[in-house]
Amino acid sequence: MCSCCTSNLSHEIMTVEEAIFFLDNLVYEQTEKHLSRLQQSIIRGVVGGLTYQEIQQNDPIARGYTVGYLGRYVGYNLWKDLTKVLKQAEIIGQEERVVGANLWDSIMRAVQKGTQPSNSVDPILQKLLRMRYRIREHLVSTEYSNTYLAEDENLPDRPLCLVKRLKTQSERTSQLFDRETRVLYRLGKHDRIPELLARFEEDGYFYLVYQFIEGQPLYQELIEGQPWEEHQVIALLKDILEVLVFVHKQDVIHRDVHPQNLIRRTSDGKIVLIDFGAVKEINSSHNSTGQTRSRGGTQQDYIPPEQAIGSPKFCSDIYAVGIIGIQALTGMRPKQLRVDNLGNLIWQKNATVTPEFARVLDQMVLYAFPQRYPSATEALQALQNLGVSSD
């Protein structure tokens, strides 16, 4: 039988989407990482006989990338990783390698060998919720919830959205669910805060669905050893503070402002503030003490002392914004900076900065919170008073 006939027969055995799901599970089995949505788009296009240019032109997921990036970076590394996975699974020989031309045959060889993913694969992946939201990727897990990337199958072009599922139905998680729902619904009316799209209960779990922001997390721009120009930093801080002015006027403290929760939106380059799971309403009766302390990793670098002991203020968000500004200006990670006897950061010798802007940043990150700018409104006004062009 010729290879053409074999390929046609394989397509009858398994659809392209089933093949991608199968391959994704196989990759997860060996690497504990799922194929990204962009990688799945490349696979879908290549199997369908499309060139990288056609994938870039026709697939909304790939549209924001150059053809060269898709082919020379995403595709190249995808084939390399798949080659490693399939060799480890003993599906292809040690001298073989996966390329676009033999991808479908490689998948079919895995199917025919009977390779099956283990039960460790998250069962919610590919599930359809509320007859509408198709779960595609597991993005992040916290103490209280899992967040997934999903497609809305009820709308044209199947736009992306984020689905958050609470892990339990305890009184504590129910309170968090109700609070986040209330706050997101109120705050999501702002153009640069994700909009709450739905809330529901299904199969014993609480779900929130909210807008997916297409863009690049700020942490990808903050590269160690590559300091920004002062005018760039001022423009960034103004962008962040403009959103926080709205948040603070709603009597809400975000409490989780850091570069992973700031997205530079692809459509217009504006900064969007995401992840309101840690918000604290000033007039709320819910006791949120300790939630901040449970958050680890580099996020701790942006948490001021009063918040670390469970007593966040509006100016706690300002502290986080100031740390981001210093990080951008110095090209240094926050934990690389030293502090003086009063607990204040020593950073100016590592930056090229005017005295006026340095004073604003210093006031934003003072150890003693009563001496900081009390909210985003005052901090933004201080930057605007500098009279420095941010073009």
321-350 tens-digit pLDDT: 999 999 999 999 999 999 999 999 999 999
Task: Answer whether 128-211 and 215-384 agree in fold.
Answer: no
Q: pLDDT higher for 168 or 210?
A: 210
Q: What is the pTM of this model?
A: 0.68
Q: What topology is assigned to 215-384 in CATH?
A: Transferase(Phosphotransferase); domain 1 (1.10.510)
Residues 6+ apart with CB under 8 A from 211: 161, 162, 188, 194, 195, 196, 197
CA atoms within 13 A on the CB side of 208: 29
DSSP at 336: G
Mean pLDDT: which of 120-129, 133-142, 154-163 is highest?
A: 154-163
- Mean pLDDT in the chain? 84
Which residue(s) pair with 152 in the sheet? 133
Q: How many CB atoms lie within 10 A of CB 295?
A: 16
pLDDT band at 4 (very low <50, low <70, confident <90, very high): very low
CATH code at 128-211? 3.30.200.20
User: Residue 2: is its pLDDT beyond 50?
Assistant: no
Q: In this predicted structure, which of 204-208, 269-273, 365-369 has the lowest mean pLDDT?
A: 204-208
Query: Which tens digit of pLDDT belongs to each residue from 32-91?
Result: 788 888 999 899 888 888 888 888 888 888 887 887 788 778 888 898 899 998 888 888
Which residues are known catalytic residues? Answer: 256
List the structure tokens of 227: 């300091």
DSSP codes, 299-335: GGGG--HHHHTT---HHHHHHHHHHHHHHHHHT--GG
Q: Is the dihedral of CA 349, 353, 355, 361 positive or negative?
A: negative
DSSP at 66: -
> What is the percentage of the chain residues whose pLDDT exceeds 70?
88
- Per the CB < 8 A criterion, the answer to whether 344 and 236 are in contact is no
Mean pLDDT: which of 163-172, 287-296, 308-317 is highest?
A: 308-317
Closest CA to 155 of 208, 209, 207: 209
Axis crossing angle, helix 103-113 with helix 76-88, rounded to the nearest 10: 20
Using CB atoms within 10 Å of the CB of residue 158, give its burial: 0 to 12 exposed, 13 to 18 middle, 19+ buried.
middle
pLDDT for the residue 120: 47
* Domain ranges, ordered by start, for the chain: 3-113, 128-211, 215-384
Mean pLDDT: which of 26-30, 114-118, 343-347 is highest?
A: 343-347
